[in-house]
A and B are shown apart, each in its own frame.
Chain A
Amino acid sequence: MCLAVPGRIVKLAGTTAKVDFGGVTTEAELVLVPEAREGDYVLVHAGFAIQVLDEAAAQETLKLYAELAEAVDDALDKRDGG
């Protein structure tokens, strides 16, 4: 059961948070990530937030994928277009 879902904290209330999973909102306990703040993206598992997501790291990963995709397209263009 490694299943954890990312969502955005829209409201804090003591040790719990209202988390928005792209339209569906549920409550999650924050005792395992006490540093989490409103606006943070968190991974939620079994009713508990278990990690705050690093948005900068996510963007870097996506940038790498975009560069890889471009390189493939360039290579294919060269092969097909001469």
Chain B
Amino acid sequence: MIDAQAFRSAPAARALLGRIRELVRGPVSLMEVCGTHTVSISRFGLRSLMPGDLKLLSGPGCPVCVTPLEEIDWAIGAARLPGVILATFGDMMRVPGSESSLERERAEGHDVRIVYSPLDALKIAEGSPGEEVVFAGVGFETTSPAVAATVAAAAERGISNFSVIACFKRVPPALEALAAMPGRKIDGFICPGHVSTIIGAGAYERVAAKHNIPCVVTGFEPLDILQGITMLLTQVDGIRQRGEAARVEIQYRRAVTMEGNPSALGMLSRVLETRDAAWRAIGTIPQSGHGFCDRYRAFDAGERLKVELPPTAEASGCICGEIMMGLKLPPDCPLFGGRCTPRDPVGPCMVSSEGSCAAFHKYEMIREA
């Protein structure tokens, strides 16, 4: 039996911090691309413990935050259709669309339900044969196999009043896009722990080799993150001092292998196929999304329903896009903490429980007395 607190031991943290300070010999920027890392880093106060030359950047790791406004508007439009039950993960509810939100639609009397699992949405479909259940399929590779498996189960059981809005995104193409941005300085990627249980750490080998950027797959406890940072800095030192080549390493060895989860990957390729995808405020990244393959296209909500869309209107002043690309931090936004708060958010980064702005607002708003 393992004591989870052992992954938070203060003496070990001190040792790792000491190592980090030894290894930082000039400006270095490390980027995480996972909402859970964003929250863990803020929640455990890790940013404040880093030496000044080490910048921890937050990338587009929050799947709700990177869902384009048009897709949010589409889900809202679907919820308005008579006979539709819109089922969604909780953190989609309050994301502002161009004119409304799913939460507001529910308040107006439309049937919008929060589910923990896509299987719950399928159960609703089974129990409501006269209604059309539409599930908002938002997530990275941690989530897409679960949704794929649910669609496969729907097909097997002949449940036809169920469809999915395919908003899935893939992490490795996003890393490539970030690394290739002109003028961008990312010295290492803290790679997402749970996405990598599915896709395997080997998925990052291409970006490591092509851009000479070390990639370390890291867990979510404070010691995991500190150890992951130490491993990245060791590589950065090797690259800068001895011209070594960047590599992919696994810190989160208890959960991640180089190959990933073959059953989950098999489920993905059975039900979904990769395609280009639009990322909110970033643009289209090639091969960075999933759609349904021919055999399961009947479950694509986009093919099944006709939805009216309002003109797309991004909130003015919101700099979520720059924040998601690690170019700015939440306090740099003129709306942060004033016009935009968790209670009354403007942009997705403040709404989602895994958004940078929400994490900063909750854990890093320290005022001088």
Contact = CB atoms under 8 A, between A and B. Distances in A.
A10 interface: no
A50 interface: yes
A51 B217 CA distance: 15
Indicate the member of B34, B37, B89, B197 with the most A CB atoms within 10 Å. Answer: B197
Contacts of B198: 50-51
Nearest to B224: A61
A81 B239 CA distance: 39
A34 B146 CA distance: 14
Q: Is the interface of A mostly helix, strand, loop or mixed?
A: mixed
Interface in A26-46: 29, 31-35, 43, 45-46
B29 interface: no
A6 to B, nearest CB: 8
Given A4-B194, A69-B9, A33 B263 contact: yes
A2 B7 contact: no
A70 B11 CA distance: 8
Interface band, chain B: 35 or more
Given A58-B254, A62-B7, A72-B15, A2 B149 contact: no
Given A31-B149, A48-B146, A68-B12, A1 B254 contact: no
B116 A65 contact: no
B89 A2 contact: no
B267 interface: yes
Interface stretch (B95-103, B137-145, B275-283): B137-145
B118 A47 contact: yes
A68 B15 contact: yes
A55 B2 CA distance: 8
Given A1-B63, A1-B91, A4-B142, A65 B12 contact: yes
Interface band, chain A: 35 or more
B223 interface: yes
A33 B138 CA distance: 22
Indicate the member of A1, A32, A55 with the most B CB atoms within 10 Å. Answer: A1
Contacts of A31: 149, 263, 267
Contacts of A45: 142-143, 146, 194
A59 B3 CA distance: 10
A53 B91 CA distance: 27
A67 to B, nearest CB: 9
Contact of B197 (A46, A50, A73): A50
A2 B192 contact: yes
B211 interface: no
A80 interface: no
Interface in A1-21: 1-4
B145 A48 contact: yes
A5 B223 CA distance: 17
